[in-house]
Amino acid sequence: MIEQLESIIYALIGPGRTDAPSFVFNPIDNRNIPGALNTGFLITLAGPAHPDFTEAKRFLENMSESPEWGGVAQFYLEGLRLVRGEIRGMCENDPHFAGRLNTLADWVSNSRNLDNLKSTAEKFWAVFFPEANGILEDREESIEALRSKRKVTITELNAAPITDPARQLVFTSNVLITIPPETKSITGLPLSEEVKEKLVETMQEPQLYWYDHPIQVGVEQHKNEVFYGLRNLETAFEFEKDRGNISEEARPICVLSVSVTHRGLQDLAKKYLEEEFARSGELKKLDLYAFTEADTQRIITDILAPAALHYLHRENGEEILKVFGVDGDYGRHYSFLKAIAAFWKVFVNAKIRGTFKIDIDQVFPQKELVDETGASAFEHLKTPLWGAHGVDSGGRPLELGMIAGALVNEKDISTSLFTPDVRFPDLDLSYDEFFFFSPLPQALSTEAEMMLRYTQDGLDGQRACAQRIHVTGGTNGILVDSLERHRPFTPSFMGRAEDQAYILSVLMNPGTKLAYVHKDGFIMRHDKEVFAQEAIESAFVGKLIGDYVRIIYFSAYAAALTDNVTALKEMIDPFTGCFVSLIPATVVYLRFCFKAASFFAMGKNARGTQFIRNGAERIKRAMDFVSGEKNLLKRVYEKERLGWDMFYDTISAVEDAIRNKDEFALGLQKKAEIIVEECAITL
Is the pLDDT assigned to residue 535 strictly greater than 60?
no
Q: Tell me, what's the pLDDT at 556?
A: 97
Q: Tell me, what's the pLDDT at 21?
A: 44
Confidence band of 221 (pLDDT split at 50, 70, 90) = confident
Q: Tell me, what's the pLDDT at 405?
A: 97
Round to whole Å and give the CA distance between 486 and 489: 10
Q: What percent of the chain has pLDDT over 70?
A: 96
- CB count in 10 Å sphere of residue 236: 21
Q: Tell me, what's the pLDDT at 568?
A: 97
Q: Tell me the pTM.
A: 0.94
Is the pLDDT assigned to residue 613 strictly greater than 70?
yes
Q: Tell me, what's the pLDDT at 16?
A: 65
CB 583 within 8 A of CB 589: no
Is the pLDDT assigned to residue 666 strictly greater than 50?
yes
Q: Tell me, what's the pLDDT at 458?
A: 84
Please state whether beta strands 464-468 and 397-409 pair in parallel, antiparallel, or not at all (unpaired).
unpaired
CA angle 442, 448, 452 (to 5 degrees): 135
- pLDDT (mean) for 124-141: 96
Average pLDDT, the chain: 93
| C-alpha pair distances (Å), 12 with each of 23, 124, 208, 303, 506 | 9, 12, 40, 60, 41
pLDDT tens digits for range 439-451:
999 999 999 999 9
Is the pLDDT assigned to residue 534 strictly greater than 80?
no
Pick the closest to residue 160 from 615, 508, 480, 526 (CA basis). Answer: 480
- pLDDT (mean) for 277-299: 88
- Integer distance in angstroms from the first to the last C-alpha of the chain? 67
Pick the closest to residue 342 from 267, 269, 401 (CA basis). Answer: 401
Please state whether beta strands 215-216 and 151-156 pair in parallel, antiparallel, or not at all (unpaired).
unpaired
Q: What percent of the chain has pLDDT over 90?
A: 81
Query: Which burial class, exposed, middle or buried, applies to 371 when counting CB atoms under 10 A from its CB (0-12, 13-18, 19+)?
Result: exposed
Q: Tell me, what's the pLDDT at 24?
A: 62
**306: cis peptide before it, omega within 30°?**
no
CA angle 12, 16, 22 (to 5 degrees): 60
Round to whole Å and give the CA distance between 53 and 41: 9
Q: Residue 363 pairs with which residues in a beta bridge? A: 525
The number of angstroms, rounded, from the C-alpha of 513 to the middle of its chain's C-alpha atoms is 21
pLDDT tens digits for range 458-467:
899 999 999 9
Confidence band of 537 (pLDDT split at 50, 70, 90) = low
- pLDDT (mean) for 590-601: 94
Which residues, other chains included, contact 573 with Cβ-Cβ below 8 Å and sequence gap of 6+?
Answer: 131, 441
Round to whole Å and give the CA distance between 452 and 521: 8
Round to whole Å and give the CA distance between 341 and 348: 10
